Amino acid sequence: MAASLLHRGLEVGGNIFFALSLKRSDPQVKRSSSETLLLQFFMKKTGSQIIIESLKKEGVDLIFNYPGGAVLPLFDELQGAPFRQVLVRHEQAAVHAADGYARATGKVGVVIVTSGPGATNTVTGIATAFMDSIPIVVMTGQVPTLLIGNDAFQEADIIGITRPCTKHNYLVKDIKDLARILKEAFYVARSGRPGPVLIDLPKDTLVNSTEFKYPEKVFIRGYQPTYEGHLGQIQRAVKLILKSKKPVLYVGGGIISSNASKELTLFSEKLGIPVTMTLMGLGSFPGNHPLSLGMLGMHGTYWANMTVMESDLLIAIGSRFDDRVTGKIEAFAPQAKIIHIDIDPTSISKNVRVDLPIVGDCKRILSKILPLFDEEDISSFKAGLDKWHRQIEKFKAIHNMDYDQKEIIKPQYVIEKIYELTKGDAIISTEVGQNQMWTAQYFPFLKPRTLLTSGGLGTMGYGLPAAMGAQAAYPSKLVIDISGDGSFQMNSQELATVVQYQMPVKVVILNNGYLGMVRQWQEFFYGKKYASSCLEGTSPDFVKLAEAYGAVGFRANKPEEVIPILKKAFSIPEPVIIDFVVDPEENVYPMVPAGEPLNQMRLV
């Protein structure tokens, strides 16, 4: 056995001395598994090697990175490691890409960048993921422990900077904690209400060695998320629902992060309760379903907002009563009792007083609540909803989503055609502003994890890197970034990345020559004074820009060009940028002005 140990020791570069000194007669040492275990335990690995091994254990298959001085020891090990790696052109994009990957797959996105500017460049990406509860782990280099606090070259207190925008963050002060911290970081990122976790890695912890043993389990006494909903509360919810005459489901991103779409659909169909979604919730319920009301809120559909305002029971699941959803909070759903299902207790009764809170995982709670209706008489309940459904139909008749396609391309038309050509089978990312709202309104998302959009933070420049993340996860899927001429330029350097890795991302630029949403607000609320919002004549030629990067560029000026150009773009297995020259002053309707009640909508 000693010989076999010696052999293995040599093979894996371990401690030969230990192997030789093992006593044959040692009863604790059995062959095979315990032998390997012991070897593993006594083998010293550098911090960088520990990170690689830990990432393997976590099942990581893709890393978005950007190197620099402080993380070079880690990059040295990454070369040849069994992960696909994407070198971005700006650290912000690395985080958005990992975020897009996480949204599209449900797995944890991973980012590795260097200290100082590398770390501070990730902040917008981290804050974006934090606001939308997206699981990512960001590893930043840091100056050696002894230099921390000395204003060393490329030093930034990234722990201090990201404390309010991460779910948790760690500074590795002792290499012995490294494996535990990595294990915890992935666990914290993906469990409970997911979110970004940052690990700051001083250069010495990457270089020094210690014994490596990856923890099997995580136990954090201060962090025990509640998954199972309280049964008593669930039973009370059933009673409240059966008593209601005008119920509506108001669902958000929580349905998607807990993979509860199936349960939600069953629930809604079983009881005939209509569903309205937040921006983050789009795709959690099929957008073309007869019970779907589409999105609610500031740019939601008229009928969704009216339904909520007239309802007598609001069943909020995995949503958080954001101000863009509720409008004037005191006037929100005035007659409704509110049931709120959410995994995060801090979301409950934060903005709106809730009548019946249930803390837990959406999927598990929906699975628990469904069978409870089998014991109840739901046929009379459903029959009682007929009047409610008729009322909703009336709301639809008052105002339907529409636009007038004349000689100049309407942005909504482009989005509708994308939906028709793809039949909804595509992953869509958006930037932020009008492009994002039109996408939410005119592309009925059919499946969860097909819309990648920065909902909470509203980060322009999110769409292209997020599309990269999704495309890297699903190389053969059609991934489209619906963009504006403003947002696109916030991360257009990533064209180099998509070309380098031959990611066939399609970027659809709805080019109106303005920062459109800003211009719209200025038109409505600031006397049409278009301060700093006009880009006309200042943007680059996007077709030439695409070509300069080695991508394909198209331009469409007329409505009849839209379909052929989209078809052509979708058929090319390369990155394509399409510059749609659209109506410069088209507005997003309907709109609830900020701070107004939801039923005070501007319809045209």
CA 478 – CA 475 distance, rounded (Å)? 8
Side by side, the strands of the sheet bearing 168-171 are 84-87, 62-65, 109-113, 136-142, 196-202, 168-171
Nearer to other proteins, 197 or 309 (CB): 197
Shortest spacing between CB 211 and other proteins, in angstroms: 22
Peptide bond into 475 cis (omega under 30): no
Shortest spacing between CB 215 and other proteins, in angstroms: 16
Side by side, the strands of the sheet bearing 292-295 are 292-295, 275-277, 247-251, 313-317, 337-342, 356-359
Contacts of 139 (CB under 8 A, 6+ apart): 51, 71, 74, 110, 111, 112, 113, 198, 199, 201
Nearer to other proteins, 156 or 562 (CB): 156
Shortest spacing between CB 335 and other proteins, in angstroms: 22
DSSP 413-429: HHHHHHHHHHTT-SEEE
Among 154, 233, 391, 600, which one carries the catalytic annotation?
Answer: 154
Shortest spacing between CB 346 and other proteins, in angstroms: 4
- 85 belongs to the catalytic site: no
Identify which of 479, 521, 519, 482 has the alpha carbon closest to the alpha carbon of residue 501.
479
Shortest spacing between CB 363 and other proteins, in angstroms: 21
Nearer to other proteins, 233 or 391 (CB): 233
Angle (CA) 423 426 431, round 5°: 120
- Which residue type does 269 have? E
Nearer to other proteins, 159 or 369 (CB): 159
Nearer to other proteins, 44 or 328 (CB): 328
For residues 398 and 479, is the Cβ–Cβ distance under 8 A?
Answer: no
* 3-state SS class at 282: coil
- 153 belongs to the catalytic site: yes
CA 390 – CA 396 distance, rounded (Å)? 10
Among 43, 490, 517, 601, which one carries the catalytic annotation?
Answer: 517
Nearer to other proteins, 24 or 221 (CB): 221
Shortest spacing between CB 171 and other proteins, in angstroms: 7
Nearer to other proteins, 99 or 342 (CB): 342
User: CB 467: neighbour CB atoms within 10 A?
Assistant: 31
- Cα dist. 309→86, 251, 274, 362 in Å? 47, 15, 14, 24
Nearer to other proteins, 258 or 430 (CB): 258
Nearer to other proteins, 97 or 171 (CB): 171
CA 297 – CA 324 distance, rounded (Å)? 6
Residue for token pair 């019970």: 291
DSSP class of residue 475?
T
Identify which of 465, 383, 389, 477 has the alpha carbon closest to the alpha carbon of residue 99.
465
Identify which of 159, 401, 134 has the alpha carbon closest to the alpha carbon of residue 254.
134
* Site for other proteins, rule CB under 8 A: 159-160, 163-164, 167-168, 171, 173, 188, 220-223, 344-346, 349-350
> In the structure encoding, which two tokens stand for residue 196, read together?
């970004």
Do β-strands 168-171 and 44-46 pair in parallel, antiparallel, or remain unpaired?
unpaired
Shortest spacing between CB 345 and other proteins, in angstroms: 5
Angle (CA) 300 346 306, round 5°: 20
CA 247 – CA 307 distance, rounded (Å)? 9
Identify which of 271, 303, 269 has the alpha carbon closest to the alpha carbon of residue 289.
269
Among 53, 58, 77, 91, which one carries the catalytic annotation?
Answer: 91
- 203 belongs to the catalytic site: yes
Shortest spacing between CB 185 and other proteins, in angstroms: 11
- 217 belongs to the catalytic site: no
Could you tell me the maximum CA-CA distance found in the chain, to the nearest angstrom?
90
Shortest spacing between CB 168 and other proteins, in angstroms: 5
Among 203, 337, 363, 506, which one carries the catalytic annotation?
Answer: 203
- Which residue type does 516 have? G
Among 23, 30, 153, 536, which one carries the catalytic annotation?
Answer: 153
CA 553 – CA 204 distance, rounded (Å)? 46
* 3-state SS class at 352: coil
For residues 118 and 148, is the Cβ–Cβ distance under 8 A?
Answer: no
Nearer to other proteins, 165 or 479 (CB): 165
Shortest spacing between CB 49 and other proteins, in angstroms: 26
Name the residues annotated as catalytic.
91, 153-154, 203, 517
